[in-house]
Structure 1
């Protein structure tokens, strides 16, 4: 008898569950749609999040809606006694099913328990579940839920100015991070120099500060461009006004020594960037003076004289030592010639180190100019500025006009002139200088 009663109550319970779920889901969906639409509307009017994140936040709101739905359904009560009372009230069974449940659960006792259970089963079986729990479509509730959900989805798929702004910021942040990484590599290259000059040490500090400033710029492309331009100007201020003239003078010295026959390939070595090659050639020549014939000594003396004439307005001390060596060779005083050549080699080495440091500094400035242009893009604020941060900073750029200009002559920006190669007939020529003492011819 108890099993039949449970089966009967189970039919009513399932019917009630369907009816309540249909109504509750409509309400929960409506509340979720209203909350999501409100969130999307606020974000559309006051952009703060990209549309994708708003959609995600709206979907996450489904979780509390589902939890609320579950709590609501549980609180309705689904026990046998609760279902029996609802059926008795709806069908007018005068507590037959309620009494039957209490008897089956042992809550009450009656000598007529079997008859009462049989009567309750008969009365309950005659009542269709749809009569006790009629189906209601709740069209208005479902319509409101559908409209609010559609409004939420429509708002989240509308073009949001914040989306474009965030996309630009993400692109700028990525571009600035790439520039920062390359500047870090450039700083490492400067740090690898065994004996960095004070200018290179300052350049390394400037690049380190620039890297920090780029990190602080975040997605602000204009601020990053301003920091790059400022770093260019600061580094350009460290370029010596005579550096290019000294490079010109060393180039002439290298080619004169090569022309004398005492240093084959010296001009090519210097043209490939070996700024210590002239100093080494002078020292090597000083050690081989005793092996030279009179004719070779005269050729060397003439080459040293021409180099001294070229360097007189660039490095008077070096020019004097070269002239002393030439005079000593003509007198046949090899000891004096060796001493003068050794001193000239030392001075040429110092000069070469200065030139090398200035060229490395110029290349750093060129790299910063390239990074600035790349960061600005074809239509960015720095694209039309040209070489604003670099051109005109370095005196004596006219030395780029030497015949036979080679590697590095296509560089733009400050310091481009340090990369050009000078060639041609140098016999008896003197480097013309600008008012600042920088070679222009």
Structure 2
């Protein structure tokens, strides 16, 4: 969609014609002191709560109260296999096969577990390549892995930097790095969608480049899962991890997802940390058998699943399934394109959108750089009923989420930003 128009009437008409508009009513929208809906544009940090989440969690609380330990087998949704209820829908969202996906642990924990298996340094090939402005937790994790294996973190961490006076990472520069240092790089670990700029990287292209130089490849898809079509299986990546509390609306600090490509599914000799939940399900409770590795991503599990958190994830995934992820991605592009159109119409020389303009190179996040601004601008927006996300030194991140944001939300956000800037 490119035939955007100015004026509130256009936004209202788009909402009237939006087949997904009804899903907004399935979410709790934060309100101001007068009871008016706030304009919530921070689903890229914490997604809103689906109204059915409480019922899903309460079901498990009720079964726990009534059944105690027997809930593992006798609950309405037996806890013993609860993580399996999430697998198929989650696999569809990230573009994977069910055998390649599991929900477990938290994001950085899963990242470390993946590196136990896929970061295999030698005296010659030991470096890790990441984008220079990676999410801090990823950078810290990479540095600690280097130290753990006895390497210097400054020497061992290769940064894919943007060019001078540019913000976005350039693939030509990545190719140059790999040509010059590829034989020393053990692992490429990139954020699938950069948290700061919103740049959606070409996962398949990066994976193919890495494989040409003998590197293993993984992605942190925290800002991609539930936002863009990741197509993880097709990308050929060795592994990926993501959280579920941003675009996947599972609640603060909720569990992470992990992807391991099916070519690794039956490699029982692949180094990994293990626990009883990665043991053969048929013999797990005999308790004294020798370890028998589960195939696929499930084989990276350690412990039995935290049911209450998984219940909230299940609620959100059921909403995604009802809406259809392809439909959501289509609306996302229309909503974000409209947002970009309105920002550009401000014709303000102090404003620069640092997120890629091509719809296939971004999700629903726009990172708006405001010259000479500080966090007081963010506070003024908050005071005006707009919840956005500030990132130092001068960027407001806004994410119009297709499940619960409207075209009118976008219109009002830009109108209030214009008033504040003027």
What TM-score do you get using the length of structure 2 for normalisation?
0.22
Compare CA radii of gyration and give the structure with the larger one: 1
Please state which structure has a larger fraction of its residues in strand: 2
What TM-score do you get using the length of structure 1 for normalisation?
0.22
Please state which structure has a larger fraction of its residues in helix: 1
